[in-house]
Amino acid sequence: MKELNKEEFKSEVEDYVKVLFRKSIKEADDQQIFQAVAYAVKDFIVDQWMATHRTYEEKDVKTVYYLSMEFLMGRALGNIIINLKGNQAIKEAIEELGLNLDVIEDQEPDAALGNGGLGRLAACFLDSLSTLGYAAYGCGIRYKYGMFKQVIENGYQIEKPDDWLKYGNPFEIKRPEYAVEVKFGGYVSIKKDEETGRNKFVQENYQSVLAVPYDLPVVGYNNNVVNTLRIWDAEAIDTFNLDSFDKGDYQKAVEQQNLARTICEVLYPNDNHMAGKELRLKQQYFFVSASVQRAVMKYMEKHDDIRKIHEKVCFQLNDTHPTVAVAELMRILVDEYNIEWDEAWHITNKTCAYTNHTIMSEALEKWPLELFSRLLPRIYQIIEEINRRFVLDIQRAYPDDYGKVERMAIIYDGQVKMAHLAIAAGFSVNGVARLHTEILKNQELKDFYQMMPEKFNNKTNGITQRRFLLHGNPLLADFVTKKIGDDWITDLKHIDELSVYTDDEMSRKEFMNIKYQNKVRLAKYIKEHNGIEVNPRSIFDVQVKRLHEYKRQLLNILHVMYLYNELKKNPDKEFYPRTFIFGAKASAGYHRAKSIIKLINSVADVVNNDKSIDGKIKVVFIENYRVSNAEIIFAAADVSEQISTASKEASGTGNMKFMLNGAVTLGTMDGANVEIVEEVGKENAFIFGLSSDEVIAYEHNGQYNPRDIYNTDGDIRAVLTQLVDGTYSSNLDEFRDIYNSLLDGQGGRPDMYFILKDFRSYAEAQERVSAAYADTAKWAKMAMLNTAKCGKFSSDRTIEEYAQEIWHLEKVKVEVTT
Ligand code: 26W
């Protein structure tokens, strides 16, 4: 590992401030200092970045291309510094320049090129791929505007554009030499190929854009490896010149310019909801076509037989969003390399693999034929042919069961079903937690599992301990290292060695004192951002994640309303003070989700200002939840709320970040919670609610009636009534829709999220939490055991499994010789 020279680094920072801004360090503002420091850090890693790619070429290693619409990277500077193990040297250098590293890190906007779980998982995976020394590209889109900024005004969410590139991105390198053309629209005609004498399909009268890549470094931990996140931007093809005026192509030139301008403009802020917008399909084909074209070109620079591309290249499809990749690869093989269909299909099968991240039916991607064939005429033809052959396979396998075709065809009911295409075309289909994979095999994708069981496998998600402990929680990271050494940083299994210290009173005290310090840090953040005073001695009970009905933030806030009623009824009741902390963005068009945000803020207003309860309950809604403030929030949590309706949360990854930071899970047996409980022991978690089997049974038999609960449970009835009687809003209709959804559900189906059904069991679990927390030694042990037992949930473990079982990659060692 190359050493960082403090003096050199200092003078680089000074030089950058000078050449970039014509200023001295004293004159420059914080943002300018950040830019200068970031450039100096980039200079330092560029040799490693080059050495990494040189090594890959020399060894001719297989490469995974992780295709994803989203990479929720967060801030880069702090993470790069810790992965370089440059913390101490850079911190000192910066202090000697009279600056403060924390302030500098705070200047960097989050790279919020993602919505939530799926995008953050992609970011953790890149960190692990580099740290483990696997050759990988992340391939995505350079959105001009990332995930919107959330501002809360009068309790309502307002969305503001996230202009993250305003000051430029010091870490990126534009690579115009690797630009490729991507074609949309027009029609397909058949031409005779002069060389082969065969028919050729050519797209004509299309519009095209130039896909231009920007590379971002992904630095491995202390190992010289720097992989690349390649995000594509669209530029107009240069037809807007005098020529086009002459040819009367003026109209087309303008249209192409507009196309280029719009494609990468903004990230769609929908999490788990398919909107079916034409621009979204354009985004998908745009980055997929560019990535696949480049991967094929790169492969062919060093090899002569395209038929063996699967030996060196694997495309991992992060959900169905990049599934057009299979058709794009077929197009390149058949149309450009003149490979016969059957052979092209086998090559494609061996090159593509698909990960499923959700079973929510509203998230399943289905595109109307009309739109699809108009936008991607040649790709559509290819998918039609894939479908024709796949339907024959289905009929051959199940000659008497017409239902199979109906349920499994790729094109059906006037729609292209992207999941069916991904499963038919790839060699691997994986779920993201054991329970989720079982549900895929036995329910959602049962027909596919029956026909192709060998494709199905599980890869339980993970998170990077380097960002979420080493960077986010330095006090706890130091404590762990002091106790057990620093092997946990690259092999989280070692953190189990902490277990023995859970019986040592001194260690427990130290651990809880660190938690306290982190709570003080979060309390300060809340004071600064919300103006609310919270007590760091209270239980910090936290639910941070996207807002979605299935995640049941509503259950949490209804329970707060219930507790508040209890306290009002019995002011002298023994009650351990609690701070309920929420953070969540709602998709801009998701009205009920926005209404739940308003409810949380309205309850906060009433409860926080009621002197009679003596500050025993506080409710805080943290504005603009994102990767950078998440790091502070996880570190400070006592209770991790993971309360989704069982079967609905594919895995969850926030649950793992809380566990790592010593918070205890309060959750349902859903997603990866099941495996968390298995690791830590059910006595060290608070589990409640319907099981996924019970939920699925209710869904089938329709025997759930929330009105029965409303009629028989007075406490629940009181809470529900308060939604519409003016307790929390003078506008009696403000929360009417929430009230109705709980009692009458939607479209004739009772509340699909079983909120009232699980309410009592949740409230009881919450009582167990309070009782456990009151026993300080017991709680400290539980909390510490959560940290100790989280080894399985490192994304390093997950990536090892992908690398060994799906991608078949070999590890690379990189030497820097300069
Ligand atoms: C087409 C609209 C759309 C947008 C986003 C559909 C689906 C999505 C994502 C797949 C939703 C998502 O982020 N899923 C989450 O993926 C995480 C990583 O695997 C899991 O931990 C979460 O449980 C899952 O909800």
Give the pairing of strands 226-236 and 149-153. Answer: unpaired
Is the CB of 649 inside a 6 Å radius of any atom of ligand 1? yes
> Do 402 and 499 sit in the same domain of this protein?
no
What CA–CA distance (Å, rounded) separates 753 from 692?
12
What CA–CA distance (Å, rounded) separates 190 from 195?
15
> Do 576 and 432 sit in the same domain of this protein?
no
Nearest CA to ligand 1 atom 8: 272
> Do 534 and 672 sit in the same domain of this protein?
yes
Q: Is 196's pLDDT higher than 70?
A: yes
Confidence label for 117 from pLDDT (cuts 50, 70 and 90): very high
Residue 246: its pLDDT value, please? 57
Give 11's contacts (C-beta < 8 A, 6+ positions apart). Answer: none
| DSSP code for 463 | B
φ/ψ (deg, to 5) at 303: -135, 160
What CA–CA distance (Å, rounded) separates 483 from 489?
13
What CA–CA distance (Å, rounded) separates 519 from 535?
9
Is the CB of 272 inside a 6 Å radius of any atom of ligand 1? yes
Is the CB of 295 inside a 6 Å radius of any atom of ligand 1? no
> Do 316 and 260 sit in the same domain of this protein?
yes
Give the pairing of strands 136-141 and 226-236. Answer: parallel
- The structure tokens 């303008």 sit at 254
Confidence label for 241 from pLDDT (cuts 50, 70 and 90): low
How far is CA 160 from each of CA 150, 262, 266, rounded to the nearest angstrom? Answer: 6, 18, 12
For residues 324 and 379, the answer to whether their CB atoms sit within 8 Å is yes
CA atoms within 13 A of residue 320's CA, in its CB half-sphere: 22
3-state secondary structure of 214: strand
Residue 401: its pLDDT value, please? 97
Is the CB of 335 inside a 6 Å radius of any atom of ligand 1? no
What CA–CA distance (Å, rounded) separates 352 from 317?
7
Q: Is 244's pLDDT higher than 60?
A: no
Residue 245: its pLDDT value, please? 52
Q: What is the pLDDT averaged over residues 502-512? A: 98
Does residue 33 form part of some domain? no
Q: Is 469's pLDDT higher than 60?
A: yes
| DSSP code for 337 | S
What CA–CA distance (Å, rounded) separates 157 from 598?
8
More confident residue, 222 or 240: 222
> Do 534 and 665 sit in the same domain of this protein?
yes
Is the CB of 118 inside a 6 Å radius of any atom of ligand 1? yes
Q: Is 88's pLDDT higher than 90?
A: no
Nearest CA to ligand 1 atom 6: 272
Give the helix/strand (H/E) hosting 73. strand 71-74
- The amino acid at 539: I
Q: How many residues are given for the chain?
A: 818
**Structural tokens at position 749:** 């189906």
Question: Percent of the chain beyond pLDDT 90?
Answer: 94
Residue 668 belongs to a domain with what CATH number? Answer: 3.40.50.2000
Does residue 84 form part of some domain? no
Residue-wise pLDDT tens digits, 709-765: 999 999 999 999 999 999 999 999 999 999 999 999 988 899 999 999 999 999 999
- Other C-beta atoms lying within 10 Å of the C-beta of residue 374: 15
> Do 445 and 472 sit in the same domain of this protein?
no
Poorest-pLDDT segment among 80-89, 417-426, 538-547: 80-89
Cβ burial 693-702 (10 Å sphere, 16+ → b, else e): ebbbebeeee
Q: What is the pLDDT averaged over residues 421-443? A: 98
> Do 489 and 441 sit in the same domain of this protein?
no
Does residue 3 form part of some domain? no
How far is CA 162 from each of CA 165, 228, 741, rounded to the nearest angstrom? Answer: 9, 23, 32
Is the CB of 324 inside a 6 Å radius of any atom of ligand 1? no
> Do 535 and 408 sit in the same domain of this protein?
no
Task: Quote the domain boundaries for residue 302.
Answer: 60-75+110-461+801-807
CA atoms within 13 A of residue 390's CA, in its CB half-sphere: 28
Residue 243: its pLDDT value, please? 53
Confidence label for 3 from pLDDT (cuts 50, 70 and 90): confident
> Do 454 and 481 sit in the same domain of this protein?
no
More confident residue, 391 or 198: 391
CA 179 to chain centre: 27
Mean pLDDT for the chain overall: 96
What CA–CA distance (Å, rounded) separates 723 from 599?
9
Does residue 39 form part of some domain? no
Q: How far apart are the first and last CA of the chain?
A: 12
What spacing in Å lies between the alpha carbon of 650 and ligand 1's midpoint? 8
What spacing in Å lies between the alpha carbon of 566 and ligand 1's midpoint? 37
What spacing in Å lies between the alpha carbon of 651 and ligand 1's midpoint? 9
What spacing in Å lies between the alpha carbon of 761 and ligand 1's midpoint? 27
Nearest CA to ligand 1 atom 9: 272
Q: What is the pLDDT averaged over residues 81-93? A: 90
What CA–CA distance (Å, rounded) separates 430 from 329?
21
Residue 1: its pLDDT value, please? 66
- The amino acid at 124: C
Q: What is the largest CA-CA distance in the chain?
A: 92
Confidence label for 242 from pLDDT (cuts 50, 70 and 90): very low
How far is CA 494 from each of CA 372, 484, 515, 789, 790, rounded to the nearest angstrom? Answer: 50, 8, 21, 9, 10
Mutational test site, ligand 1, from 118, 676, 795, max ligand atoms within 8 Å of CB: 118
What CA–CA distance (Å, rounded) separates 344 from 444?
29
Q: What is the pLDDT averaged over residues 443-472? A: 98
pTM assigned to the model: 0.98
Query: Which is nearest to 53 in space by CA: 224, 244, 210?
Result: 224
The number of distinct structural domains making up the chain is 2
What CA–CA distance (Å, rounded) separates 583 from 601?
11
> Do 515 and 375 sit in the same domain of this protein?
no
- The structure tokens 């351990």 sit at 576
Residues known to be catalytic: 357, 545-546, 551, 653, 657
DSSP E strands, 407-454: 411-412, 415-417, 428-431
Residue-wise pLDDT tens digits, 7-55: 999 999 999 999 999 999 999 999 999 999 999 999 999 999 999 999 9
Mutational test site, ligand 1, from 317, 319, 355, 692, max ligand atoms within 8 Å of CB: 319
> Do 385 and 300 sit in the same domain of this protein?
yes
Does residue 96 form part of some domain? no
Is the CB of 358 inside a 6 Å radius of any atom of ligand 1? yes
Does residue 15 form part of some domain? no
What spacing in Å lies between the alpha carbon of 140 and ligand 1's midpoint? 16
What CA–CA distance (Å, rounded) separates 165 from 266?
12
What spacing in Å lies between the alpha carbon of 117 and ligand 1's midpoint? 6
Residue-wise pLDDT tens digits, 565-611: 999 999 999 999 999 999 999 999 999 999 999 999 999 999 999 99
Q: If phi over 0 gives left and psi between -120 and 50 gives alpha, with beta otherwise, what is residue 587?
A: beta
Is the CB of 671 inside a 6 Å radius of any atom of ligand 1? yes
| DSSP code for 683 | G
Does residue 309 form part of some domain? yes
> Do 485 and 426 sit in the same domain of this protein?
no
What spacing in Å lies between the alpha carbon of 551 and ligand 1's midpoint? 12
**Structural tokens at position 626:** 């994102």
Give the pairing of strands 428-431 and 617-621. Answer: unpaired
Does residue 356 form part of some domain? yes
Q: What is the pLDDT averaged over residues 258-263? A: 96
Q: What is the pLDDT averaged over residues 531-538? A: 96
Confidence label for 530 from pLDDT (cuts 50, 70 and 90): confident
Residue 91: its pLDDT value, please? 87
Is the CB of 366 inside a 6 Å radius of any atom of ligand 1? no
DSSP E strands, 463-561: 539-544
